């Protein structure tokens, strides 16, 4: 199952709508598909929770119904960020070498991102200030399917609903300025600075999904690549750590190239005019051209 957010015109503004995408990219109303009822304004988080609560057999039946219904129709022309407005997003970062700890030891540290820090997939990635330096890292976004409060790693594995791609962009100039307090909130959360999507991939059985390589290209050249199996911390460990804040359906734990081992990939500098592409064959492709905000 792939859930995406589209925008449909209304008399005064664009109305966001959650859809399920067929293998050919045709959109079907997700609320009706998952509940058997037409319409409704159910949030992305509610639909993730509904999907997660189904048995694997029921999920496969829904996927079959999706493909049948998607025989006719068109692909959506305008995708929005596939992140609930109330979601919490944690980007797991960094090695612990500076603290004298071996890789993979110690607590799972992370930076916090607001939903507003993500631009829509398919559009430009606009850098807000010309006098700042920016860089990018690719990350795997692990989507939470049910509430998790202070769970252990084993229980955390049973909360994983699916995956998405994250292009984590940092205002490096602000990051250095914030180093004194080590909060990173401004540098990670300028409006529309990062990308997510293009959709949420929710497998019928997430535990059986072995994700292949995830990569970042800038101007056609591969700058980062990693396999999720090689990350310093597992998704289960990261969810267990941050479940102390209480995680909810639709929350995302992003595991990035900056913590891949053994390559220790560095963030990649961004400049106006760069063409970026992030991809994984099991999830899809995110692409954008870097521009300067007006």
Domain contains 178: yes
Structure tokens at 94: 């960094």
Domain contains 84: no
What confidence tens digit (pLDDT) does each residue in 142-176 have? 999 999 999 999 999 999 999 999 999 999 999 89
Q: What is the pLDDT of residue 14?
A: 65
Last residue of a domain, one of 40, 56, 78: 78
Cβ–Cβ under 8 Å, residues 32 and 230: no
What pTM, to 2 d.p., does this model score?
A: 0.91
Cβ–Cβ under 8 Å, residues 93 and 111: yes
If one counts every other C-beta atom within 10 angstroms of the C-beta of residue 44, the result is 25
Claim to verify: residue 95 and residue 42 sit in the same structural domain: no
Claim to verify: residue 259 and residue 201 sit in the same structural domain: yes
pLDDT over 90 at 16, yes or no = no
Q: What is the pLDDT of residue 260?
A: 66
Structural domain span for residue 25: 2-78
Among the listed residues 141, 174, 127, the one whose alpha carbon sits nearest the alpha carbon of residue 293: 127
Claim to verify: residue 69 and residue 140 sit in the same structural domain: no
Claim to verify: residue 95 and residue 74 sit in the same structural domain: no
Total domains in the fold of the chain: 2
Claim to verify: residue 37 and residue 125 sit in the same structural domain: no
pLDDT band at 209 (very low <50, low <70, confident <90, very high): low
Among the listed residues 283, 33, 292, the one whose alpha carbon sits nearest the alpha carbon of residue 138: 283
Claim to verify: residue 70 and residue 20 sit in the same structural domain: yes
pLDDT band at 98 (very low <50, low <70, confident <90, very high): very low
What confidence tens digit (pLDDT) does each residue in 234-249 have? 899 999 999 999 999 9
**Strands 160-171 and 134-144: what pairing?**
antiparallel
Among the listed residues 19, 15, 17, 16, the one whose alpha carbon sits nearest the alpha carbon of residue 34: 19
Domain contains 71: yes
Cβ–Cβ under 8 Å, residues 112 and 137: no
Domain contains 42: yes
Last residue of a domain, one of 78, 100, 128: 78
């Amino acid at each position: 199952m792939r859930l995406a957010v589209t925008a449909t015109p209304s008399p005064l503004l664009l109305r966001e709508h959650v859809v399920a995408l067929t293998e050919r990219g045709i959109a079907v109303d997700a609320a009706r598909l998952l509940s058997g009822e037409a319409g409704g304004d159910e949030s992305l988080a509610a639909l993730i929770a509904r999907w997660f609560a189904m048995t694997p057999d029921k999920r496969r039946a829904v996927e079959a119904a999706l493909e049948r219904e998607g025989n006719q129709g068109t692909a959506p022309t305008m995708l929005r960020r596939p992140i609930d407005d109330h979601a919490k997003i944690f980007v797991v970062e960094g090695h612990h070498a500076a603290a004298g700890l071996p890789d993979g030891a110690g607590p799972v540290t992370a930076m916090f991102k607001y939903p507003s820090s993500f631009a829509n997939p398919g559009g430009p990635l606009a850098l807000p200030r010309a006098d700042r330096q920016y860089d990018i890292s690719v990350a795997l976004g692990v989507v939470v399917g049910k509430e998790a409060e202070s769970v252990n790693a084993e229980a955390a594995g049973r909360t994983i609903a699916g995956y998405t791609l994250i292009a984590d962009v940092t205002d490096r100039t602000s990051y250095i300025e914030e180093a004194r307090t080590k909060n990173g909130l401004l540098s990670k959360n300028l409006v529309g600075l990062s990308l997510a999507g293009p959709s949420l991939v929710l497998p019928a059985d997430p535990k059986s999904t072995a994700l292949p390589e995830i990569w970042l290209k800038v101007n056609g050249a591969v700058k980062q690549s990693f396999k999720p199996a090689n990350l310093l911390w597992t998704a289960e460990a990261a969810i267990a750590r941050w479940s102390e804040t209480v995680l909810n359906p639709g929350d995302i734990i992003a595991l990035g190239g900056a913590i891949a081992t053994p390559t220790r990939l560095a963030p990649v500098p961004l400049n106006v005019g760069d063409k970026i592409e992030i991809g994984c064959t099991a999830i899809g492709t995110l692409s954008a051209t870097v521009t300067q905000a007006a």
